[in-house]
């Protein structure tokens, strides 16, 4: 317990790591799977319109934390979340919060590309359709085009929008999933290792895309690749054994970590 | 340690040998299964193919204007007219007992054949018309070669004299076999040569329609609710165990339930396709629920995550994405259940669908019988001619089954999506 407090104190003290204009703010978050505690006392602020990457060895709780932000953990019967997560100054675990509305504002891109087995057009249009975001067919078509363009996949699919999304290559599928997420214009996009199933070229495209999307969206990305974290993110949080060890500006974490465990992880000694 | 890739070690040889052995066992098993299937189909076809043919006898009939009233031809005694025609064909038959034997060559339907001819065309009265009559079942059996002549000179119920008459008719070209359309277009009868499959076929179709209309939506909705919405707790386990147990309950128990509850408590019409369908639906439900749940479980969770992650409600997730992907599996489950229901006899016996039904039911409230029950009834009949009817009815039942499966396969391929 004392150790955890120390860490918090440390991370808060570093002056260059102070985060301004937060959009997501977690305070003392504990997550349990049945009896097992997966996250303990996570306090993390995520800045608006920046890319924050969550790094750490497998099983450290970074995906669990990510899924807390859009309450996907609700789907797991035995999962229990304590503490407070504020998104735009609203506690998302307040009983009055409607998860459907929440998830419309917080999009998610998964580790494995998971387009619906429907046409490319329908994949992107689906979110707008269920949230009633468009009033006419032409508006829908326009917004699908905009979403596909923002996801940098329009040129590749514009001639075959009626073909199944599953017929695309892995990297294209993942960009389609990003288009699907941004079509409903969320504030935040959560990405759970979005490039881990892709080859280096597709990964490069996704990373480029993430950098562009940062203009309009806040992105929180879980990644196993420290190079990727270093390339795409402005802020980095290092998780270890269910604890948030350290978080701050990416360049500080990678060049001058405060904690020995962070040092060991980024130099490849643990993980 | 491997010294060479070309000389396998004894241990590797043993592994290959066991693989070969297993493959051979599989091949033998499949051969045996196909063999049995062929034997079954061949036997049934061999025995039943004759039922699709009907023996007819031609007689010149004098439509005597003295005995047929032109103003009311329906009231004439056509039985007497036919008997007269038979006596004229065989003038040497004089004894009363022989005459009676002679009359038995034709089916009892013969009077209606003449009557219909006259009613259709009253101008025929006063003329001699050559009419083809349905032969009695004994003549039919003999003529088709299903029974042979024994040492005493008899063939089944036909005695020596009757055989002589048949032979004489045959020589004069007055006996033929035609396609037995009657078998497909009429209901059951006590006379084997007149019995048809239509009423049982329609009864089965109505019963299965009721069964499908009830068990498919209820089964699928139950499966979706249990799989996607109920929390996984002790109650869910209890329900699952009970559904699995229900699937194994002997079908006659469902028949008893139908008898006690549907007929006696609710007073629904006895022998009706409605009650039959309800009972079969109860029996089919567990099968559909189990298969549908398995199909839902096979849908990758990533699809659910994708839909929920974009802000779809649970019900949208299920009905827009999960259920369509599970539909082929659900249809397969439904068809397995329906195939079982199609062949079910015991529960239908309990609710009175075993009754002797001649008329084709036109609604689900009218008394009806079903194909398997019809097979059961015919197999139970003492007349030799019902033997081939039984086999023919089995062929119709199998054709029904194959048609049903075919529709299911077509539907399944239509709904199949890649994921």
- For residue range B191-240, what is the model confidence (pLDDT) as tens digits? 888 999 999 999 999 999 999 999 999 999 999 999 999 888 899 899 99
CA distance A190 to A62: 12
- pLDDT band for A7, please (50, 70, 90 cuts): very low
Residues of chain B with C-beta less than 8 angstroms from the C-beta of A102: 311
CATH of the domain at B364: 1.10.3720.10
Q: Which two tokens stand for residue B410?
A: 């077509």
**Phi first, then psi: what are they for A41, rounded to 5°?**
50, 55
Angle of CA points A106, A109, A114, to nearest 5°: 130
Please give the residue range of the domain that contains residue A50: 2-114+188-266
Query: Out of B304, B305, B313, whose CB is closest to A100?
Result: B313
| Confidence at residue A9, expressed as pLDDT on a 0 to 100 scale | 46
| ipTM rounded to 2 decimals | 0.85
Is residue B191 a part of any domain in this protein?
no
Distance of CA B212 to the CA centre of its chain: 17
Query: Out of B232, B302, B321, whose CB is closest to A110?
Result: B302
Q: How many domains does chain B have?
A: 3
pLDDT, average across residues B311-322: 92
Residue B33 has pLDDT above 70, yes or no: yes
Is residue B353 a part of any domain in this protein?
yes
Is residue B378 a part of any domain in this protein?
yes
Q: Which residues contact B175 (CB under 8 A, 6 or more apart)?
A: B55, B56, B57, B58, B135, B143, B166, B169
Same domain, B134 and B283: no
Q: Residue B125: how many CB atoms within 10 A of its CB?
A: 17
Q: b or e along A185-218 (b: 16 or more beta carbons within 10 Å of the residue's beta carbon)? A: bbbbbbbbbbbebbeeebbebbbebbeebbeebb
Q: Which among B340, B253, B350, B232 is positioned nearest to B288, based on CA atoms?
A: B340
Best B309, B312, B415 residue to mutate vs chain A (most A CBs within 10 Å): B309
Same domain, B95 and B153: yes
Same domain, B229 and B162: no
Chain B nearest-CA residue for A191: B309
| Confidence at residue A2, expressed as pLDDT on a 0 to 100 scale | 47
Residues of chain B with C-beta less than 8 angstroms from the C-beta of A70: 309
Residues of chain B with C-beta less than 8 angstroms from the C-beta of A103: 308-311
More confident residue, B385 or A269: B385
Residue B322 has pLDDT above 90, yes or no: yes
Residue-wise pLDDT for B328-378, tens only, equals 889 889 988 999 999 899 999 999 888 888 888 888 899 899 999 999 999
Contact B65, B126 (CB under 8 A): yes
| Confidence at residue A18, expressed as pLDDT on a 0 to 100 scale | 63
Residue-wise pLDDT for A150-202, tens only, equals 888 999 999 999 999 989 998 899 999 999 999 999 999 999 999 888 888 88
Query: Hey, which of A130-139, B47-56, B208-217 has the most confident mean pLDDT?
Result: B208-217
Residue A4 has pLDDT above 70, yes or no: no
> Per mean pLDDT, which range of A38-42, B6-10, B246-250, B371-375 is the poorest?
B6-10
| Confidence at residue B222, expressed as pLDDT on a 0 to 100 scale | 94
Same domain, B45 and B78: no
Same domain, B209 and B337: yes
Is residue A130 a part of any domain in this protein?
no
Same domain, B121 and B205: no
Answer whether A115 sits within 8 Å of B321, measured CB to CB.
no
Residues of chain A with C-beta less than 8 angstroms from the C-beta of B312: 100, 126-127, 130
Please give the residue range of the domain that contains residue B20: 10-49
Is residue A142 a part of any domain in this protein?
no
Q: b or e along B104-119 (b: 16 or more beta carbons within 10 Å of the residue's beta carbon)? A: bbbbbbbbebbbebbe
Q: What is the mean pLDDT of chain B?
A: 89
Residue B390 has pLDDT above 90, yes or no: yes
Distance from CA of A108 to the nearest CA of B (A): 6
Distance from CA of B229 to the nearest CA of A (A): 10
Residue A19 has pLDDT above 70, yes or no: no
Q: Which two tokens stand for residue A268?
A: 């490849």
Query: Out of A72, A77, A130, whose CB is closest to B305?
Result: A72
pLDDT, average across residues A10-35: 75
Instruction: Express as a percent the part of chain B with pLDDT over 70.
Output: 99
A34 in contact with chain B, both atoms CB, cutoff 8 A: no
Q: Which helix (H) or strand (E) holds B274?
A: helix B273-297
Q: Tell me how far CA of residue B290 lies from CA of B82, B168, B226, B240, in angstroms.
A: 62, 64, 10, 9
Same domain, B277 and B408: yes
CA distance A271 to A121: 40
Q: Which residues contact B385 (CB under 8 A, 6 or more apart)?
A: B137, B138, B140, B141, B146, B192, B193
Residue-wise pLDDT for A55-68, tens only, equals 998 888 899 999 99
Distance from CA of A66 to the nearest CA of B (A): 12
Distance from CA of A107 to the nearest CA of B (A): 6
| Confidence at residue B159, expressed as pLDDT on a 0 to 100 scale | 84
CA distance A71 to A93: 8
Same domain, B15 and B122: no
DSSP strand pairing (A243-249 vs A79-87): unpaired
Residues of chain B with C-beta less than 8 angstroms from the C-beta of A72: 305, 308-309
Distance from CA of B378 to the nearest CA of A (A): 51
Q: How many domains does chain A have?
A: 1
Query: Out of B311, B418, B419, whose CB is closest to A103?
Result: B311
Chain A nearest-CA residue for B314: A100
Q: Residue A118: how many CB atoms within 10 A of its CB?
A: 18
Is residue B56 a part of any domain in this protein?
yes
> Per mean pLDDT, which range of A97-101, A102-106, B4-8 is the poorest?
B4-8
Is residue A250 a part of any domain in this protein?
yes
Handedness of CA B204, B210, B215, B217 (dihedral sign): positive
Q: Which two tokens stand for residue B103?
A: 């009359």
Same domain, B231 and B371: yes
Is residue B187 a part of any domain in this protein?
no
B250-255 contact pairs (CB < 8 A, 24+) = B250/B346, B251/B283, B251/B344, B251/B346, B251/B347, B252/B346, B252/B347, B252/B349, B252/B350, B254/B279, B254/B280, B254/B282, B254/B283, B254/B347, B255/B279, B255/B346, B255/B347, B255/B348, B255/B349, B255/B350, B255/B351
Contact B158, B84 (CB under 8 A): no
Same domain, B56 and B32: no
Is residue A72 a part of any domain in this protein?
yes
Same domain, B97 and B214: no
Q: Which residues contact A12 (CB under 8 A, 6 or more apart)?
A: A18
Residue A98 has pLDDT above 50, yes or no: yes
CA distance A123 to A140: 12
Query: Out of A101, A102, A114, whose CB is closest to B305?
Result: A114
- pLDDT band for B417, please (50, 70, 90 cuts): low
Is residue B399 a part of any domain in this protein?
yes
- pLDDT band for B95, please (50, 70, 90 cuts): confident
CA distance B156 to B138: 7
Q: Which helix (H) or strand (E) holds A107?
A: strand A106-109
pLDDT, average across residues A213-224: 92
Query: Out of B231, B316, B325, whose CB is closest to A130?
Result: B316
Is residue A168 a part of any domain in this protein?
no
Is residue B159 a part of any domain in this protein?
yes
| Confidence at residue B1, expressed as pLDDT on a 0 to 100 scale | 52
Residue-wise pLDDT for B240-252, tens only, equals 999 999 999 999 9
CATH of the domain at A71: 3.40.50.300
Angle of CA points B73, B75, B79, to nearest 5°: 100
Residues of chain B with C-beta less than 8 angstroms from the C-beta of A176: none
Q: Which two tokens stand for residue B333?
A: 């489950």
| Confidence at residue B285, expressed as pLDDT on a 0 to 100 scale | 94
Is residue B167 a part of any domain in this protein?
yes
Same domain, B101 and B161: yes
């Amino acid at each position: 317990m004392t150790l955890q407090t120390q860490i918090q104190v440390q991370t808060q003290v570093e002056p260059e790591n102070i985060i301004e204009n937060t959009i997501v703010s977690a305070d003392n978050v504990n997550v349990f799977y049945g009896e097992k505690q997966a996250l303990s006392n996570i306090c993390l602020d995520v800045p608006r319109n920046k890319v924050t990457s969550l790094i750490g060895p497998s099983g450290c709780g970074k995906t669990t934390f990510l899924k807390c932000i859009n309450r996907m953990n609700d789907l797991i019967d035995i999962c229990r979340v304590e503490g407070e997560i504020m998104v735009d100054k609203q506690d998302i675990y307040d009983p009055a919060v409607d998860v459907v509305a929440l998830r419309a504002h917080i999009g998610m891109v998964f580790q494995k590309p998971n387009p619906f087995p429907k046409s490319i057009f329908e994949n992107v249009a689906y979110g707008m359709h269920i949230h009633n975001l468009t009033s006419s067919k032409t508006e829908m078509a326009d917004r699908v085009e905009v979403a596909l363009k923002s996801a940098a996949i329009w040129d590749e699919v514009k001639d075959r929008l009626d073909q199944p999304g599953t017929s695309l290559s892995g990297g294209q599928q993942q960009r389609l999933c990003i288009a699907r997420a941004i079509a409903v214009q969320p504030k935040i996009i959560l990405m759970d290792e979005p490039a881990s199933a892709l080859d280096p070229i597709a990964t490069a495209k996704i990373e480029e895309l993430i950098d562009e999307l940062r203009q309009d969206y806040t992105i929180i990305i879980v990644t196993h690749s420290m190079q990727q974290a270093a390339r795409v993110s402005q802020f980095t949080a290092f998780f270890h054994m269910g604890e948030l060890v350290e978080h701050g500006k990416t360049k500080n974490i990678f060049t001058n970590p405060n904690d020995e465990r962070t040092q060991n992880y980024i130099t490849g000694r643990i993980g | 340690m491997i010294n060479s890739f070309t000389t396998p070690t004894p241990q590797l040889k043993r592994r290959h040998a066991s693989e070969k052995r297993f493959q051979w066992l599989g091949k033998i098993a499949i051969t045996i299964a196909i063999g049995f299937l062929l034997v079954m189909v061949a036997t049934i076809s061999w025995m039943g193919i004759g039922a699709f043919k009907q023996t007819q006898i031609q007689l010149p009939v004098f439509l005597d204007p003295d005995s047929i009233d032109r103003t009311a031809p329906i009231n004439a005694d056509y039985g007497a007219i036919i008997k007269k025609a038979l006596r004229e064909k065989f003038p040497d038959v004089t004894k009363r007992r022989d005459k009676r034997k002679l009359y038995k060559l034709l089916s009892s339907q013969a009077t209606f054949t003449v009557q219909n001819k006259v009613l259709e065309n009253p101008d025929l009265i006063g003329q001699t018309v050559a009419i083809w009559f349905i032969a009695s079942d004994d003549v039919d059996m003999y003529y088709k070669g299903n029974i042979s002549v024994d040492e005493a000179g008899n063939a089944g119920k036909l005695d020596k004299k009757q055989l002589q008459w048949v032979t004489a008719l045959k020589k004069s070209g007055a006996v033929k076999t035609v396609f037995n359309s009657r078998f497909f277009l009429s209901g059951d009868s006590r006379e084997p040569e007149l019995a048809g499959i239509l009423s049982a076929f329609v009864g089965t179709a109505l019963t299965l329609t009721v069964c499908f209309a009830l068990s498919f939506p209820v089964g699928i909705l139950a499966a979706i609710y249990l799989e996607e919405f109920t929390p996984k707790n002790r109650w869910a386990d209890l329900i699952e165990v009970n559904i699995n147990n229900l699937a194994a309950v002997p079908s006659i128990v469902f028949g008893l339930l139908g008898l006690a509850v549907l007929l006696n408590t609710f007073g629904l019409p006895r022998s009706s396709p409605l009650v039959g369908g309800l009972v079969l639906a109860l029996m089919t439900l567990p099968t559909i629920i189990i298969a549908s749940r398995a199909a839902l479980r096979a849908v990758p969770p990533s699809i659910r995550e994708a839909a929920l992650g974009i802000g779809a409600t649970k019900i949208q997730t299920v009905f827009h994405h999960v259920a369509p992907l599970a539909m082929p599996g659900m249809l397969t489950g439904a068809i397995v259940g329906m195939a079982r229901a199609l062949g079910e006899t015991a529960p239908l016996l309990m609710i009175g669908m075993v009754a002797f039904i001649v008329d084709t039911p036109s609604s689900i409230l009218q008394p009806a019988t079903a194909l398997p029950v019809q097979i059961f009834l015919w197999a139970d009949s003492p007349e030799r001619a019902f033997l081939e009817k039984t086999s023919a009815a089995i062929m119709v039942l199998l054709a029904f089954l194959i048609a049903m499966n075919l529709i299911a396969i077509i539907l399944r391929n239509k709904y199949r999506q890649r994921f």
